[in-house]
Each structure stands twice: as structure tokens, then as C-alpha cells.
Amino acid sequence: MTAPQRLRVPHPLVLLTGCVLLAALASHLLPAGEFDRAVDEATGRTVVVADTYQAVEPSPVGPFDALIALPLGMAERADVIFLVFLVGGAFVVVDQTGALGRATAALARIARGRGVLVIPAVSLFFCLGGVTMNMSEEIVALVPVLIVLTARLGFTPLVAVAMSTGAAAVGAAFSPINPFGVLIAQGVADVQPASGWAFRTAVLVVAIALWVGMTMRLAVKTRVPEGAHATDAAEAALSSRDMTILTIVGATFAVAAWGLLGAGWDFNQLSASFFAMGVVVGLLAGLGVSGTAEAYVRGFREMAYAALLIGFAGAITVVLDQGRIIDTLVQAIFTPLESLPTLVSAIGMMLAHAAVHVPVPSNSGQAVLTMPLLVPVSDLLELPRQVAILAYQYGGVLCDLVAPTNGALLAVLAAAGVRYDDWLRYALPVYGGLLVIGAVAIATGIAIGYS
């Protein structure tokens, strides 16, 4: 008897194109509707006005218009796409110097025989990136380095994705200060920014401990012999120039974190910072102007597929917006929560945010779309606003771990050579555990009057 074939998720480009066409079909089947919007004077952001949903003239998206949405999606996500290109190019320049290879080899030598202990260290680094700057697309450029490191330690590419993108997503979702998540939601909900940080930090510790523990378990379970990819050149000791290059790289990340948290930077400033880093490193390493430019071009080629996935994911939102059904989806998902008991409503908010995050994969976009609707509901149910924000974090932001419309996730998986269905087989059970942690935190917040 022939063994049953394992269900496989389509190629990422096929999956995203299918989602675009499905969104176009939905524009024919669902009623069009919109909320009124206004500028929030406190935050300067355009937010929806609660209780203003109304039917509008249908605007169904045809098949050809759905295809036109693909380049429009790339245009909408141009700042992110160019970030991927420029950061990727910069790290190819750094890799060209050999400093990253020698640093990776040195770390592998130090950890030889106990390489599993590298996983908590690397995971906590990326978790901190998620906590402080919602790190996601930036990870794409680091995948080649992570693949080399994990291969030297005997781990699979799936482990590299789990301890980078996975850890960053958990950090972003449970963060007390994520500027693109909790801080925006708190601003829209008229809650003091970064308030309630101690409670969120305690939950974060539990969540990242679960993720790191499961990643270590995966690494041990799938381990292969160490050092299969070692080369004599990479075994050379780090030079003073290598240390200077690595210091510049570290300083660039520190400046990027400062810019996002304290100077109001966006993706364009980040792109400029990493581009400058690549130029400085290339010239310092003796690559010359032409050699540095050639390394950048190679980096652009390597990042093209990942950037394309991000643009295709953006096309889904373009179609839903053209079809005028995003607000319809939000209204349909959240309205039933008003009639539920407080705890059930709060857990329902979390699950509803997860559902909304698939068609609205932007953390900041989801916050300004949903929080103005949920603040009146939470007040009506005497539910602390902080708890409503927790529901957004643990439902919406955490969904980045598995959402097929998360272009950054698909880009990292593509760069690592990991199939989306293989990722889901690992991530979905842990994601379920994280949702349970989130639900317990929400119930605790209600019990203690978390505000």
C-alpha cells in the first residue's frame, strides 16, 4: 500500500497570489462598508471613529485589477523593500570582508560540544530586537550568517529561523515598549505610553522561555554532525580589523534602535544607516569603491526574491482596500463580542485580533483600525483598557508567527530554504501554547484590575 502523501503548502508566490485573488473574490461576495476616520490630536494618526460603520457603494475588484495590485503592493511597501535590499547589500559587503565568517567560526569553536547553549543567546538577541524595534524585515539580510552558524553547530535551517524570526516575533508580541505595537495601541486607547510595563515584562519572560525551550528541543531532535561546512579560511583567528568591522555593525544596530525609539525614525532612515555602514566597512576592508559596489549588487540579487514576497503580501491589503471590505471584516468579527461576558469577551478579542491580522498584517495598521472600536466596548464591559491592549498584542502581533500574509516571515523562510508547511509543523503547536499564556495573562489582568 502506498503511504499517504504529506499535505504541502504551495510555493510562497503561489500562496500569496492565491490570497490576492481570494481577496478579489471576497470583494464580490461581501458587502462594502466603511467607518468614518479622524485624526487623533494626541498621536497625529488617522484612526477610525467607533459606531460609524455604514454601507458604501460596492467596489468589486476584477481579476485583472487584482493582478495590477501586485505592483501596487510593491509600491505600497517600497520603504520595506528598499530596506531589505540595502540591509542585504550591506551585509554582503560585511560578509565579503570575511569578518562574519571568522566570527561565526570562532563562536562555533567556543560552543563546540555544547552548541545548543548558543540558541538562548541568539534567541534573546533577536527577542530584544522584537521588544525594542519590532525587528522583522531586517532579519532577512542576516539569514545567510545564521545558516552558516547553525550548520557549523549541527543544526538545521529551521532552527535558524526559529531562533531569529520566531524569537523576534515573540518579543514584539509580548513587549512592554514595542513602538509599532503596544505604544501605538496605548496612544490610540488614551493610555499612558509604556505604562503597565512590569506586568507585560513578566509575561514576556514566560513566553520567551517557552519559545527558547521548544527551539532547543527542536535543535536536539534534528541535530546533524557539527562542522560539516567548516573551511580552513574561516578557522583563522579574528584580526583587529575584523573586530573593528564587527564593532561598526553592532554600533549601527544600536543607532537604529535609538532612532526608532527616540528619534522617530522609519524604514527610510534605517535603510540609509545600513547603507552607510556597508560603504564604511567596504572601504575599511580594502574592497575599494568598485568592490563595495559589486558586493552591493550581489546582495541586491540575493534579496530580490525576499523583497518580491513582501510586495506580493502588500498586494492583499491593496485589494481589500480597493474592494472596501476591510472595515466590513473588522465589523463582522468584533461586533459579536459586545454581548459576551467580560472574560469571554476579552479572550474573544484576542482570537478576533488573530483573525483580523491575516488580512491586515501591519501591526501599527491593525492598532489604529481596531483599538478605537474596542475601547468603547471595553469601557462598556468594564474591562480595563490595558487588558484590551493585551488582547491586541497577544492576538494580532503574535499572529506574525504563522500568518501566510506576513511577507517578512515568508521572505526569511525563502532565504533560509525552509518550506512554509515545515515551519507551520513546528510553530503552530508552540503558537498555541503562547496563546494560552496570553489568555492566562488576560484573565489575570482582569482579576487584578490591570490598568
| Count of Cβ atoms closer than 10 Å to residue 240 Cβ | 7
332: enclosing H helix or E strand: helix 326-334
What band does 423 get if pLDDT is binned at 50, 70 and 90? very high
Number of domain units in the chain: 1
pLDDT digits (tens, 9 = 90+) for 24-42: 999 999 999 998 888 877 6
pLDDT digits (tens, 9 = 90+) for 74-86: 998 898 899 889 9
Query: Can you list the alpha helix ranges (DSSP code H) found in 189-287?
Result: 197-221, 240-262, 267-284
Q: Is residue 41 part of a domain?
A: no
pLDDT value of position 77: 86
Query: Is residue 1 predicted with pLDDT exceeding 60?
Result: no
What band does 231 get if pLDDT is binned at 50, 70 and 90? very low
Q: Is residue 342 part of a domain?
A: yes
Query: Considering the chain, what is the average pLDDT of its residues?
Result: 88
Compute CA distances 344 → 174, 331, 437, whole Å. 21, 18, 15
Return the minimum-mean-pLDDT range out of 11-25, 164-178, 223-237: 223-237
What band does 263 get if pLDDT is binned at 50, 70 and 90? confident
Q: Is residue 49 part of a domain?
A: no
Q: Is residue 222 part of a domain?
A: yes
CA distance 230 to 149: 10
| Phi-psi label, residue 268: left if phi above 0, alpha if psi -120 to 50, beta otherwise | alpha
CA distance 176 to 389: 11
Query: Is residue 181 predicted with pLDDT exceeding 60?
Result: yes
pTM for this predicted structure: 0.84
Q: SS3 sequence, 380-448?
A: HCCCCHHHHHHHHHHHCHHHHHCCCCCHHHHHHHHHHCCCHHHHHHHHHHHHHHHHHHHHHHHHHHHHH
Q: What is the percent of the chain with per-residue pLDDT over 90, rounded to a whole number?
A: 50
pLDDT value of position 3: 44
- Residue 384, domain extent: 12-30+62-448
Q: Is residue 3 part of a domain?
A: no
Q: Is residue 70 part of a domain?
A: yes
User: What average pLDDT does this structure show over 243-257?
Assistant: 90
Q: Is residue 240 part of a domain?
A: yes
| β partners of residue 46 | 39
pLDDT value of position 6: 60
Residue 231 neighbours by CB under 8 Å, 6+ apart: none
Cα-flanking dihedrals φ and ψ of residue 370, to 5°?
A: -100, -35
Do 58 and 32 meet the contact criterion of CB atoms below 8 Å apart?
yes
CA distance 29 to 356: 18
What does the block give as the cell for 289? 569603491
Return the minimum-mean-pLDDT range out of 234-238, 239-243, 261-265, 405-409: 234-238
Q: Is residue 52 part of a domain?
A: no
pLDDT digits (tens, 9 = 90+) for 325-383: 989 988 888 888 878 888 999 999 999 999 999 888 888 888 888 888 888 888 878 88
